[in-house]
Chains A and B, each alone.
Chain A
């Protein structure tokens, strides 16, 4: 286990290093930078003034110099720099936004699993029944509906029909749990439908496969109650690929949440990333991307560990 963890840690560091170099170069290779944005429309601005601002923002040296300076500050001081646009420390911006996105993602995953698991099981157990068709149709719709479209629809629907909207300024869960829930439930629902559909379809397929395996038939033959067979024997094994998918989905949900966060006015990580890209706010883009990559890598490591718990046959070699 220790060797496994060390190996994963090394892989994680290598991945994050590769991501940092890639994103560092990519943002700088995009046409246009923060200088062109802040001076746009200012015909009186001279090249000297632009160079001065470039120097003020620390984007005047070679790429190598800029990268080592940036990476050095992170490694040795834990300093991600300041946003070009707001001047705010990146750690402050991410500190504020990460728990918003985390809450959104967790709630989204919970909603997705809460519906996907029962639907997937029912669909598999009652194959070709009306319930199965209903669940499969739900899955098809879930895959087809873009999250941002559903989010917009929810906003329009609740405002037009109920003359009500979720709170539009962020309320933390500790300040007012109910208000916080009403604020997050619709955006979470919007981002959860795709995951719900994927997990439901995956679970249905794996459940169908597992239900036809010998050990399930044996258990039934031995007189184990149907409910126990389904939950303890079949579902537990069918969940293994589902865990993998759910793990991957966390990463996609963070990226996918950006537009939904904008629609529901939640200043989360994705919301900030979208704005940062359009404004060429290099430090914010780089730090946010690194954060998403780190979450992706960590979650997938956790998924690997959870495998072992779900299926004793799978164990991490020491």
Chain B
């Protein structure tokens, strides 16, 4: 993506009130979804061409966060909200553009220097917001903190670390990263930036990083983060991208109640916020706001446990396949999400070239095909069964999807008993494998491996979820090779094959990827809904005079 903005964001997809309210009823959800796939890329190309030369600078945007970050320390946090609270000031060696293409960031270049080493050249002249230059020692220090996060972080985030062994300075402005074994996840780990921020050497001993911080991002802290209240930023005068940021400041008040956010948007007290699909419908048409939507990595999924000796009906592949074909995803999108969203496999829809296309999913792998589902059940020798499906009590879309799945599966003789649970209970049971079926959600991953690693016996969770499953050699081979293949050109075909194997095995059944809704005051331009679930668009946003 060009850093120069167009009049409205390259990826901005505004919604008319009529469109939002009527879409579900008037359009076939399939057609809608097909259109949605192509829209961002085409919009990006056409709108970028209309880039205006003169961009207004200055002004403050007030953007409400819907969840408290808890703390803004860069390491050891697992809440997505933590990144919302610090993403304006922290960057990593690499970054993604809005379409998840790798871009240099603090590192202006990198090269694979050996089978298990990568060299990073630090960008010439790059400085932290306090004016100090970024050096190899800062990078080395930052990676040490990532491996052993200091308080208030915990070591919970270290499971996201790829196989980095250690880093060494080659020169004061270049580092060599040594890997324990070849690991292609490194690039995504760096570009995602969620766990891989670069901070000044020794900063943890001089600052309370829970509420304070220094980074290289487009903005720097203005004051300190106040829990359950606000975190504010002002323009970083030392930012390395020429001309950016356009805004003078961004303030993030924390407003957890959606009705309050909507009311504040109406009154202009805030300039933007994330809302639910119902909230978007409620405010769409208000004179001072624009409703944006876009796909994120969040998708809904049906999980099974297959344990040894239990011999549950879904331990047979044909039964799992029957379930897959009996679920009407178009209806889920129409009924639950007003027609917005997309079919999803086991890798998040829209996750670059690493997943199956929407067309492949709709026409083949996730086709709603009741006759085939019935014949698969018959071939498996299963006439029907009762099962308990647990899901989240909130947000309410889970219960709505569960009800539709129950209705769909009753047509092939499966009687689903739905049990909603609070998040902590659900999470505990899920991670312990204490469930038969879970209707759950997945989120963003730094690398495609994060979506598929669980299907390999080496994964910690495998034994709790799939220990009674016979296995699939091709699947295991693809997962292993995918992780160690550093060349993307060679790596993509591996995952294309793996996706197909996974869709055939149906160990987990991807359902739909949902749209994220953000409401923005009309004066704010160049904002877009980021696929990563962060508010990255604010970095390049500006205010129209």
Interface residues, chain A, with chain B CB atoms under 8 Å away: 30-33, 36-47, 49, 52-53, 56-57, 82, 85-88, 93, 152, 155-156, 158-160, 163-165, 168-170, 262-265, 267, 271-272, 275, 278-280
B431 contacts across to A, CB distance below 8 A: 36, 39-40, 45
A159 & B154 in contact (Cβ 8 Å cutoff): no
B450 contacts across to A, CB distance below 8 A: 43-44
B453 & A38 in contact (Cβ 8 Å cutoff): no
A53 contacts across to B, CB distance below 8 A: 154-156
B442 contacts across to A, CB distance below 8 A: 41
Q: Which of A32, A85, A88, A160 makes the CB contact (< 8 A) with B427?
A: A32
- From residue B521, how far is it (CB to closest CB) to chain A in Å? 14
Beyond known contacts A39-B156, A159-B263: 20 more, CB 8 A cutoff: A31-B425, A32-B423, A33-B428, A37-B427, A41-B441, A41-B443, A43-B453, A43-B460, A43-B461, A44-B450, A44-B460, A49-B158, A82-B152, A86-B71, A156-B259, A156-B263, A163-B266, A264-B260, A265-B254, A265-B255
A32 in contact with B424 given A85-B70, A272-B228 (CB within 8 Å): yes
The proximity string for B residues 198-229 relative to A, scoring 1 for CB distances below 8 Å and 0 otherwise, is 00000000000010000000000000000111
Tell me whether B39 is interfacial, beta carbon within 8 Å.
no
A45 & B260 in contact (Cβ 8 Å cutoff): no
B152 contacts across to A, CB distance below 8 A: 82, 86-88
B71 & A31 in contact (Cβ 8 Å cutoff): no
A262 contacts across to B, CB distance below 8 A: 256-257
Bound CA span A271–B426, Å: 23
B229 contacts across to A, CB distance below 8 A: 169-170, 267
Which residue of chain B has the shortest Cβ distance to A163 in the bound complex? Answer: B267
Interface residues, chain B, with chain A CB atoms under 8 Å away: 68, 70-71, 78-79, 151-152, 154-156, 158-160, 210, 227-230, 253-257, 259-260, 262-264, 266-270, 421-431, 441-443, 450, 453-454, 459-461
A265 in contact with B424 given A43-B459, A88-B210, A170-B229 (CB within 8 Å): no
B70 & A38 in contact (Cβ 8 Å cutoff): no
- From residue B63, how far is it (CB to closest CB) to chain A in Å? 13
B423 contacts across to A, CB distance below 8 A: 32, 37, 40, 278
B264 contacts across to A, CB distance below 8 A: 159, 165, 168
Q: Which of B159, B210, B268, B427 makes the CB contact (< 8 A) with A40?
A: B427
B68 contacts across to A, CB distance below 8 A: 275
- From residue B72, how far is it (CB to closest CB) to chain A in Å? 10
The number of residue pairs between A and B whose CB atoms lie closer than 8 Å in the complex comes to: 152
The 4 closest A-B pairs by CB, nearest first: A87-B152, A32-B424, A32-B428, A159-B263
B78 & A38 in contact (Cβ 8 Å cutoff): yes
A44 & B424 in contact (Cβ 8 Å cutoff): no
A44 & B453 in contact (Cβ 8 Å cutoff): yes
A38 & B425 in contact (Cβ 8 Å cutoff): no
A168 in contact with B253 given A44-B453, A45-B156 (CB within 8 Å): yes
State the main secondary structure of chain B at its contact with A.
mixed
Q: Which of B79, B210, B254 makes the CB contact (< 8 A) with A87?
A: B210
What are 5 A-B contacts defined by CB distance under 8 Å? A32-B422, A42-B78, A87-B151, A155-B259, A168-B270
A86 & B256 in contact (Cβ 8 Å cutoff): no
A263 & B460 in contact (Cβ 8 Å cutoff): no
B421 contacts across to A, CB distance below 8 A: 31
Q: Which of A45, A163, A267, A272 makes the CB contact (< 8 A) with B460?
A: A45
B424 & A278 in contact (Cβ 8 Å cutoff): yes
A56 in contact with B155 given A31-B424, A165-B269, A168-B255 (CB within 8 Å): yes
A31 contacts across to B, CB distance below 8 A: 421, 424-425, 428-429
Bound CA span A43–B460, Å: 7
Question: Among the interface residues A30, A47, A86, which one has the most CB atoms of the partner chain B within 10 A?
Answer: A86
- From residue B186, how far is it (CB to closest CB) to chain A in Å? 15
A44 & B160 in contact (Cβ 8 Å cutoff): yes
A46 & B424 in contact (Cβ 8 Å cutoff): no
- From residue A279, how far is it (CB to closest CB) to chain B in Å? 8
B428 contacts across to A, CB distance below 8 A: 31-33, 36
A169 contacts across to B, CB distance below 8 A: 229-230, 253
A52 contacts across to B, CB distance below 8 A: 155
Bound CA span A105–B31, Å: 54
Bound CA span A18–B256, Å: 33
Bound CA span A112–B171, Å: 71
Which residue of chain A has the shortest Cβ distance to B270 in the bound complex? Answer: A168
A86 & B154 in contact (Cβ 8 Å cutoff): no
B267 & A271 in contact (Cβ 8 Å cutoff): no
B156 contacts across to A, CB distance below 8 A: 38-39, 42, 45, 49, 53
B230 contacts across to A, CB distance below 8 A: 169
Bound CA span A40–B429, Å: 10
A265 & B260 in contact (Cβ 8 Å cutoff): yes
A163 contacts across to B, CB distance below 8 A: 266-268
Q: Which of A41, A47, A165 makes the CB contact (< 8 A) with B263?
A: A165
A30 & B425 in contact (Cβ 8 Å cutoff): yes
Bound CA span A42–B80, Å: 13
A39 contacts across to B, CB distance below 8 A: 78, 156, 159, 427, 431
A36 in contact with B427 given A47-B460, A263-B260 (CB within 8 Å): yes
